């Protein structure tokens, strides 16, 4: 890629979340709990041309790596994403996200009557199903609005 085409600067150290479905970059930040007040560098590219996806979003977070539960939730909204670990300007690790069987303790159930919304010490658990994620306790299915129910 020529320098004319580089939209977002390279980073020295941190994580590049690449090949994010166009339109999902802000949801990626929500999943990571990033609002800019943390102090580390964050760059976001939206609707960047991509050979593979046509258009993509890209999120670069400096001086931070991602936990497995963050990657699990990311995979639900950005199934094609690649997670690149950058150290001293070099990509030292590149992983495609994989769809988990389920996610525990990271999403809240939208059903007010669900046991997980009562005052009980119960962790939420959603199974990943074909059309979204399904609450283990009340079977409510979250589809496009997964990002609105992140609880990390």
- Are the C-beta atoms of 56 and 20 separated by less than 8 Å? yes
Question: Which residue, among 24, 72, 31, 66, has the nearest Cα to 48 in the 3D structure?
Answer: 24
Stretch that binds Zn ion, among 49-57, 92-100, 114-122, 143-151 (CB under 5 A): 114-122
Question: Which residue, among 51, 41, 47, has the nearest Cα to 20 in the 3D structure?
Answer: 47
Tokens of 140: 């409510």
Q: Give the one entry of Zn ion, ligand CTP, none that residue 32 binds, where binding means its C-beta sits below a cut-off of 5 to 8 angstroms depending on kind.
A: none
Cα–Cα distance for residue pair 87/123, rounded to 1 Å: 35
Distances (CA, A) of 147 to 38, 44, 88, 104, 132: 20, 17, 32, 15, 11
Using CB under 5 A as the binding rule, whether residue 133 contacts Zn ion is answered as: no
Q: Give the one entry of Zn ion, ligand CTP, none that residue 135 binds, where binding means its C-beta sits below a cut-off of 5 to 8 angstroms depending on kind.
A: Zn ion
- Mark residues 88-117: x for contact with ligand CTP by CB under 6 A, - for none: -x-x--x-----------------------
Using CB under 5 A as the binding rule, whether residue 111 contacts Zn ion is answered as: yes
Cross-strand pairs, 66: none
CA contacts within 13 A on the Cβ side of 55: 7
Nearer to ligand CTP, 11 or 42 (CB): 11
Q: Give the one entry of Zn ion, ligand CTP, none that residue 77 binds, where binding means its C-beta sits below a cut-off of 5 to 8 angstroms depending on kind.
A: none
For residue 105, the minimal CB distance to ligand CTP (Å) is 29
Using CB under 6 A as the binding rule, whether residue 71 contacts ligand CTP is answered as: no
Using CB under 6 A as the binding rule, whether residue 83 contacts ligand CTP is answered as: no
- Summarize as ranges the residues that interact with ligand CTP (CB under 6 A): 10-11, 16, 18, 58, 60, 82, 84, 86, 89, 91, 94
């Amino acid at each position: 890629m020529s320098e004319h085409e580089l939209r977002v600067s390279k980073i020295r150290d941190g994580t590049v979340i690449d090949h994010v479905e166009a339109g999902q970059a802000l949801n990626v930040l929500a999943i990571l709990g990033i609002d800019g007040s943390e102090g580390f560098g964050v760059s976001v590219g939206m609707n960047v041309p991509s050979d593979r996806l046509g258009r993509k979003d890209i999120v670069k977070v400096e001086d931070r790596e991602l936990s497995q539960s963050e990657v699990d939730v990311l995979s639900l909204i950005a199934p094609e994403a690649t997670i690149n670990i950058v150290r001293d300007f070099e990509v030292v690790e590149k992983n495609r996200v994989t769809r988990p069987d389920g996610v525990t303790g990271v999403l809240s159930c939208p059903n007010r009557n669900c046991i997980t919304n009562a005052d009980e010490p119960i962790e939420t658990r959603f199974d990943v199903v074909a059309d979204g994620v399904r609450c283990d306790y009340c079977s409510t299915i979250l589809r496009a609005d997964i990002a609105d129910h992140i609880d990390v």
